[in-house]
Amino acid sequence: MSPLSCIIVDDELKSRENLRILVQDFCEDVVVLALCSNIAEATSALKQNTIDLVFLDIQMQRESGFDLFSKIEAPMFDVVFTTAHAEYAIKAFKFSALDYMLKPIDIAELNACIERARSKKQSQPSSASSPDPRFEQLVLNLKNTQSQNYKLALPTNTGLIFVKVSDILYCEASSNYTNIYFSDGKKHMVTRTLKEYEDLLTDCDFFRIHNSYLVNMSSVKQYIRGEGGQIVLSNNQVLDVSKRKKESFLRLFSK
């Protein structure tokens, strides 16, 4: 197994050194090739070396970690974003299927990020030359002020696809998978649980009406009374509302 090569980009000396020590002491077969205090140093290191993984601080004093992508035309490395602010851009990372770590760095999370990067490297041919579309989508999502305008990266058996959140009608649980149904009649099965999408999409006006269903509230056109009741979506699909969720749903539906 060939080692992963990485660089650490952070404007705080203590943060750079702490992460370097964690990587060297707890991450097997990972080589830190450079410690960079700014985007210029990171750009130089990336041009001089073949890098598999970049640990990239988001908020630096005079620049943003995102500035790196304007310097590198076709980034072929994986990225783990680091931040001390739990609320900052976390949703955009999740929507774009990109890794991040909160400071102070947790060793278990660090190893999980390393393993994901290693798996990605092993699954992709060494001759791959196309840039990762997640970076472009991350920047676009960060520019959007409305979550409904975000695009969501969906992991399928053949790779990632990017879809508008507003085009999703509802999500349906299928064991450890989720079926996602769209306004154009298409359906995708993705390798994530419904709970993961509930956590991600609740702030985008989605509501879990049942153990099996997470719905886009803007797609609901009718409620049919009953013990729990049923809803009718814009495509005339009828879904059950659980008795436990009925009261909370009706409060949202009546707004």
Q: Which fold has domain 4-140?
A: Rossmann fold (3.40.50)
List the Cα angle 133/81/204 in 5-degree steps.
65
The pLDDT confidence band at residue 87, using thresholds 50, 70 and 90, is low
The pLDDT confidence band at residue 211, using thresholds 50, 70 and 90, is very high
- 8 A C-beta contact, residue 212 and residue 223: no
CB contact set of 84 (below 8 Å; sequence gap of 6+): 59, 102, 103
Q: What is the DSSP string of the chain?
A: -PPEEEEEE-S-HHHHHHHHHHHHHH-TTEEEEEEESSHHHHHHHHHHS--SEEEEESB-SSSBGGGHHHH-SS--SEEEEEES-TTSSHHHHHHTT-EEEESSPPHHHHHHHHHHHHHHHHHS-TT--SPPHHHHHHHHHHH-SSGGG-EEEEEETTEEEEEEGGGEEEEEEETTEEEEEETTS-EEEESS-HHHHHHHHGGGTEEEEETTEEEEGGGEEEEE-SSS-EEEETT--EEE--TTTHHHHHHHHT-
By percentage, how much of the chain surpasses pLDDT 70? 91
The pLDDT confidence band at residue 127, using thresholds 50, 70 and 90, is very low
Average pLDDT over the chain, rounded to whole? 88
List the Cα angle 190/194/198 in 5-degree steps.
120
Q: Which of 40-44, 53-57, 96-100, 146-150 is predicted with the least confidence, judged by mean pLDDT?
A: 146-150
The total number of residues written for the chain in this structure: 255
Q: Which of 18-27, 54-63, 227-236, 242-251 is predicted with the least confidence, judged by mean pLDDT?
A: 54-63
Choose among 136, 3, 23: nearest CA to 72. Answer: 136
By percentage, how much of the chain surpasses pLDDT 90? 56
The CA distance from 255 to 252, in Å, is 5
pLDDT single digits (tens) 148-206: 677 898 987 777 888 999 999 999 999 889 999 999 999 999 988 999 999 989 888 99
Beta strand 238-240 with 230-233 is antiparallel
The answer regarding whether domain 144-253 maps to CATH 3.20.20.70 reads no
Average pLDDT over residues 205-233: 95
The pLDDT of residue 140 is 72
**Boundaries of every domain in the chain:** 4-140, 144-253
The pLDDT confidence band at residue 49, using thresholds 50, 70 and 90, is very high
